[in-house]
Amino acid sequence: MRLPKIRELGEALKSLFSRAYTGKYPREKVIPPDGFRGCPQFSETDCVGCLACYEVCPARAIDYVDDREKKQRVLTHHWEICIFCQQCERACITEKGIKLTKEYELAEFNRREGKSQSIKELVICEHCGGIVGCLDHLKFLAKKVGPLLYANPTLLLARHDELKLLEKQRGESSPHPRAGHLKLLCPNCRREMILKEQW
Ligand code: SF4
Ligand code: SF4
């Protein structure tokens, strides 16, 4: 019994005069190593508001609100709920819309303040007022599918909008013979419009 006690005493004395293993945080900030999973952050430019991250988040740390009046989708990341699993980053369609950072100082007096947001412009159906999606998402898809975008009028119009062609076409003095095609419509209204035209 006595031998282990003597050994422990020796270790205690040794550690008393040796350098501390612990860091001096918070007096000295710790630099996290590569691969550290810190707080995820949205990118203002690379997030297109597609909601893939919202769908995959196992902790429900991402939510969103669509405001039809302001034509805005607001995505919110609540870091007090986040478990830093990186699923959002892996599922992001642009691969840069949300990224885990090395930020770990996340303590707040009010837990509800612990959040970051991404605000995106919404496209509203010009016929029924339904939500088509985020404008940046449509533009992203239009670029991604290349020439195939001519098969999808909504993507084509989003691309024209980006190239400032849509405004010009709509402002032409003689109305476009198929003016309905220059409207941004949800899939249902688009289908109805095409059926009316055909029959
Ligand atoms: S890291 Fe995981 S828990 Fe946190 S927001 Fe992304 S998917 Fe959700
Ligand atoms: S672009 Fe990425 S970060 Fe933005 S909503 Fe889609 S998955 Fe989330």
Tell me the best of 41, 42, 51, 62 to mutate to test the pocket of ligand 1, counting ligand atoms within 8 Å of each CB and taking the most. Answer: 62
Read off the pLDDT of residues 32-43 as tens digits, 9 standing for 90 and up.
999 999 999 999
Q: Does residue 41 lie within any of the structural domains?
A: yes
Does residue 199 lie within any of the structural domains? no
Determine the structural domain holding residue 117 and report its residue range: 33-184
- Residue 167, pLDDT score: 64
Which ligand is located closest to the Cα atom of residue 87?
Answer: 1
Q: How far is the C-alpha of 76 from the C-alpha of 111, rounded, in Å?
A: 14
pLDDT per residue over 102-130, tens digit each?
A: 999 988 888 777 788 999 999 999 889 99
| Within-domain flag for 117 | yes
Question: How much is the average pLDDT of 47-64?
Answer: 97
Percent of the chain surpassing pLDDT 90:
51
CATH code: domain of residue 108: 3.30.70.20
Q: How many CB atoms lie within 10 A of CB 145?
A: 14
What's the rounded Cα separation, in Å, for the pair 188 and 50? 20
Does residue 134 sit within a domain? yes
Considering every ligand atom shown, identify the ligand nearest to the alpha carbon of residue 98 and give its number. 2
Question: Does residue 118 fall inside a structural domain?
Answer: yes
Residue 98 alpha carbon to ligand 2 centre in Å: 6
Domain presence at residue 22: no
Q: Would 13 be classed as within a structural domain?
A: no
Q: What is the Cα–Cα distance from 101 to 82, expressed in whole angstroms? A: 13
How many domains does the chain fold into? Answer: 1
- Sequence-distant (6+) residues with CB within 8 A of 100 are 37, 38, 39, 40, 84, 86, 89
Token reading at 13: 């004395």
Is pTM, for the whole model, over 0.85?
Answer: no
Residue 7 within any structural domain of the chain:
no
